[in-house]
Structure 1
Amino acid sequence: MTTINPLDDAPLSRFHKKLALFSSGGPFLDGYVLSIIGVAMVQFADQWSLSSVEQGLVGASSLIGILLGAYAGGWLTDKFGREILFTIDLVAIIVFSVAQFFVQDVVWLIILRLLIGMAVGADYPIATSLLTEFTPRKYRGPFLGAFVAMWFVGAAAAYVVGEFLARTGHEDAWRWMLASAAVPATLIVLARVGTPESPRWLANKGKIDEANEVMRKVYGPTVSIADLPREDGTVSVKDLLRSGYGKRMAFITLFWTCSIVPLFAVYAFAPAILGALKLEGDAAHFGSAVITILFLVGCVVALLLVNRMGRRPLLIHSFLWSGLALLILGLFPEAPSGIIMALFAIYAVVIGGSQILQWVYPNELFPTEIRGSAVGMASSLSRIGAAVGTFLVPLSLSGIGIGPTMLIAAAITLLGAVLSQIMAPETRGMALTESAALSTTTRTTLPTA
């Protein structure tokens, strides 16, 4: 039976809305920095005479950085708290983005892109843990899922800025493109200043007075840490790889990988893929813009369904129907352009369910002590496949062709449907202590000061 408490069932306040907006700055920057490089590379790849391998390394370096930074950020936020790291990681993005303006060779560009990726990756477990631990259960799924929608908003902004700067015709326009990420990052840092620490984290560290102060400030003078349910037992990072939490980590990592590998491949090289499917010139660029919008539409639709439909059914259907769309593309790469765009549209919209659940599931299935580490580890492990996929797409297109490439993407996506059918739990409507617990034993409250 679902219990009621002042945190999980609190009314949605202005504080919650602001926190959700400021927390989503990380994925906005992720979408921005990963997309702006594609626009900039059109110019500097010719200037520097980059090979296909060098272009692949530049494109994949940020993803490799996210792989490294996500786990480090998760471990740090569980150890030192959410508040202090909530702004430090974005300051790093500002510094490294500006440094790109002055880079003189591809090696240093790859290094800076790697460092930017590390900072972006670190923000995910920090921001999602903080948002999860403040947000009422009714809004937790949509708020966390909105992170993915903000990724595509950031990507769209990058394309607009990149196109505007490219039209100036300046030979160093690409430098301004890469450095431009510092502008939104600065605005987000300023907005995040003053965000309070998570009372759940403070309570788990024994800082009861500080936790009570935050509780009264956010939830009202009558609410204290005594109203916060205790999570079962004491867990550590080692529990991510064993017992029931090990199984949960395996599920999250597998479904996340199956979702992100085809999407990054399709999204990062959409013009090349559409060109291989006989959509060239303005048609390919228009198609890429339409696909970007449809990815965002799919996330919005999924946000509306995540509470109504439930996490498990949404995940299964998302993988199934998007995988079938890619399968048909792979089997009939010579189909008329209208059918090709229709199939891409179906994939872009339907895959939104698996995308938003990448941030919902890991935050709901792990307790406060290891929540950041769980999000970080899952994000890191999934980025291995994303980085490899992004690096191999241009080689696959030139080596085995568009049909087999799409069939591989379809196989990975449909594997996600099978794994979700076997492993996906349902956490809709649960309090954090309920969804994160391995047992259903009665929970007691945290001690007061």
Structure 2
Amino acid sequence: MDDAPFSRFHKKIFLLTAGGQFLDGYLLSIIGVVVLGMSKELDLTASQEGLVGATALIGLFCGGLIFGRITDRIGRQLLFTIHFIVIAVASVASIFVGGPVELILLRLLIGVALGADYAIGSALLSEWLPKAQRGRVMGMLIMAWFVGATAAYLVGYALVDVLGDNAWRWALGSAAIPAVVFTLARIGTPESPRWLLSRGRHDEARQVLVRVYGDAATPEAIASLSSEEQRQGLGMMELFRSEYLKRTAFVGLFWMLQIVPLFAIYSFGPTILAAFHLSGGNASIIGSALISLLFFVGCLPALRLIETRGRRPLIVWSFALMVVPLVVLGLAPSAPAAVVLACFCGYAFFSGGPSILEFIYPTELFPTEVRATAVGIGTAISRIGAAAGTYLLPIGLEHIGVGPTMLIMAGVTLLGFIVSFTLAPETRGCRLATASATAPADDPALSTG
């Protein structure tokens, strides 16, 4: 599988997995578009408004933790489809809510399903991909998130323009359409042969490999894969012991430290730019749109650099470069509008490296038996960061001002640099079994030097 040619089958698996990220971006972003009409009709208090926005992130935390372990136990195939049905039903139910409690519970349920998809989808995709394309294709998943977020803004604003304050119900319900489409498309997705082999189900793995690869699935190739995926009896607690503890800490910390400022800036772009006095006319909205575009564009060179320069240099240098514009903004909050916008665009562009590595490192650094569990733990930790960033940023702007708030963000990003410089390994060009194994100290493949 590591040396197989990249085929239509791999493209299909990628698109099906990317559907989960599209929905994540869509569902987390659509709420911000319609919050005013929703708050008015349901008479939400400020705390209830915050809960509506935060409960999906809390659900992501729970879903990642719970379903990562479950999918390592029962397989990727079944859960790869079921949780999208939950999203579709909960989205339709959102059209008919009569109060804040119902809406909060539905958003929590949606968040749990999205958290499950992080663990299930990324594990399944990484286990199918050839090593030559694994980094680039896994990294492209974050771009689907940005596409989903953009679609949410377009759909939300179009509905608000037509329906006014009543648009929020249909905007929340609109997520059911892509959820149903991807549910139907995912039916029939084959189980991961790596997972089957790790559970000792060799005959089933052989059947799946022959079905997908045909004559290329020779007995020798299957035997080689079987030797790589021998059952080791690893459990969740293995992630908190010896070498895997260091990897778990690295994945959780870099993901969280990257997403704290990123999610806050992405979610509160207009508010932040207004604090820098970019609020004349549509200046803050246009500026936010430009920053959002740069978050997407920054992923493009990063996708090339992970294979030409490697994972470790990309994440270390990206964090270092992300610190600079935040420091400038913190020290010069009265800078000209062009400087402020250039700094935010620079931060967004440089964030492409860590953004794509969110989907690469967690799947490469852990063996098949605990891969989805590890992704789920990373997702859960990162969503703590996302919730903290979105909750604390408006408080910081109000109580300590925009300059100190930007310096705090720079400090968080600097911690991400320190963690990455200290712990980030290099897995470029490694077979999945090699990258996820606890390598001996003299193995350069997983060196952090």
Confirm or deny a common fold (TM above 0.5).
Answer: yes
Q: Deviations over 1:326-364 (max 9, x none)?
A: 111111111111111111110111001001101100100
> What secondary structure does 2:358 align onto?
helix
Shift of 1:42: 2.4
Shift of 1:322: 1.1
TM-score scaled by length of structure 1: 0.94
TM-score scaled by length of structure 2: 0.94
Q: Does residue 250 of the first structure (1) align with residue 263 of the second (2)? A: no
Query: Following the alignment from structure 2 to structure 1, what is the Cα–Cα distance between the partners of residues 329 and 44?
Result: 31
Equivalent of 2:4 in 10, 20, 25: 10
**8 Å contact 2:198–2:229 — kept in the other structure?**
no
Query: Following the alignment from structure 1 to structure 2, what is the Cα–Cα distance between the partners of residues 401 and 97?
Result: 37
| Residues 26-35 or 234-243, more deviating | 234-243
Q: Which residue of 1 aligns with 2:187?
A: 193
Q: Which residue of 1 aligns with 2:380?
A: 380
Q: Which residue of 2 aligns with 1:3?
A: none
Q: Which residue of 2 aligns with 1:226?
A: 223
> What secondary structure does 2:360 align onto?
helix
**8 Å contact 1:65–1:121 — kept in the other structure?**
yes
Shift of 1:440: 4.8
Q: Does residue 111 of the first structure (1) align with residue 109 of the second (2)? A: no
**8 Å contact 2:194–2:229 — kept in the other structure?**
no
Q: Which residue of 2 aligns with 1:333?
A: 333
Q: Which residue of 2 aligns with 1:212?
A: 206
Q: Deviations over 1:135-193 (max 9, x none)?
A: 00011111111111110000000000011011014331011111111111111111111
Q: Which residue of 1 aligns with 2:116?
A: 122
Q: Which residue of 2 aligns with 1:102?
A: 96
**8 Å contact 1:134–1:198 — kept in the other structure?**
yes
Shift of 1:45: 2.3
Q: Which residue of 2 aligns with 1:153?
A: 147
Q: Deviations over 1:216-247 (max 9, x none)?
A: 12222242431304247442111011111111
Query: Following the alignment from structure 1 to structure 2, what is the Cα–Cα distance between the partners of residues 372 and 394?
Result: 34
Change (3 A) 1:405 1:47: farther
Query: Following the alignment from structure 2 to structure 1, what is the Cα–Cα distance between the partners of residues 153 and 300?
Result: 20
Query: Following the alignment from structure 1 to structure 2, what is the Cα–Cα distance between the partners of residues 104 and 391?
Result: 26
The amino acid across from 1:181 in the alignment is: A
**8 Å contact 2:94–2:169 — kept in the other structure?**
yes
**8 Å contact 1:231–1:437 — kept in the other structure?**
no
**8 Å contact 2:136–2:306 — kept in the other structure?**
yes
Among all aligned residue pairs of Structure 1 and Structure 2, give the percentage whose two residues are the same amino acid.
Answer: 51
Query: Following the alignment from structure 1 to structure 2, what is the Cα–Cα distance between the partners of residues 299 and 52?
Result: 35
> What secondary structure does 1:366 align onto?
coil
Change (3 A) 1:143 1:222: closer
**8 Å contact 1:83–1:198 — kept in the other structure?**
yes
The amino acid across from 2:223 in the alignment is: A
> What secondary structure does 1:291 align onto?
helix
Q: Which residue of 1 aligns with 2:278?
A: 279
Query: Following the alignment from structure 1 to structure 2, what is the Cα–Cα distance between the partners of residues 16 and 296?
Result: 23
Q: Does residue 41 of the first structure (1) align with residue 35 of the second (2)? A: yes
Q: Which residue of 2 aligns with 1:4?
A: none
Query: Following the alignment from structure 1 to structure 2, what is the Cα–Cα distance between the partners of residues 427 and 219?
Result: 26
Q: Which residue of 1 aligns with 2:354?
A: 354
Q: Does residue 85 of the first structure (1) align with residue 85 of the second (2)? A: no
> What secondary structure does 1:307 align onto?
helix
> What secondary structure does 1:356 align onto?
helix
Shift of 1:54: 2.5
Query: Following the alignment from structure 1 to structure 2, what is the Cα–Cα distance between the partners of residues 409 and 58?
Result: 25
Q: Deviations over 1:280-310 (max 9, x none)?
A: 1411111111111111111122112111120
Q: Which residue of 2 aligns with 1:235?
A: 234
| Residues 132-141 or 278-287, more deviating | 278-287
**8 Å contact 1:91–1:189 — kept in the other structure?**
yes
Q: Deviations over 1:29-66 (max 9, x none)?
A: 11000100000102222334434333222211111110
Query: Following the alignment from structure 2 to structure 1, what is the Cα–Cα distance between the partners of residues 335 and 165?
Result: 39
Query: Following the alignment from structure 2 to structure 1, what is the Cα–Cα distance between the partners of residues 9 and 370?
Result: 25
Shift of 1:88: 0.5
Unaligned runs of 5+ in 2: 442-449
The amino acid across from 2:262 in the alignment is: L
Shift of 1:383: 1.1
| Residues 295-304 or 25-34, more deviating | 295-304
Query: Following the alignment from structure 1 to structure 2, what is the Cα–Cα distance between the partners of residues 350 and 107?
Result: 39
Larger helix percent: 2
> What secondary structure does 2:414 align onto?
helix
Unaligned runs of 5+ in 1: 1-6, 442-449
Q: Which residue of 1 aligns with 2:44?
A: 50
**8 Å contact 2:119–2:372 — kept in the other structure?**
yes
**8 Å contact 2:91–2:174 — kept in the other structure?**
yes
> What secondary structure does 1:278 align onto?
coil
Q: Deviations over 1:367-391 (max 9, x none)?
A: 0000000000111112112112212
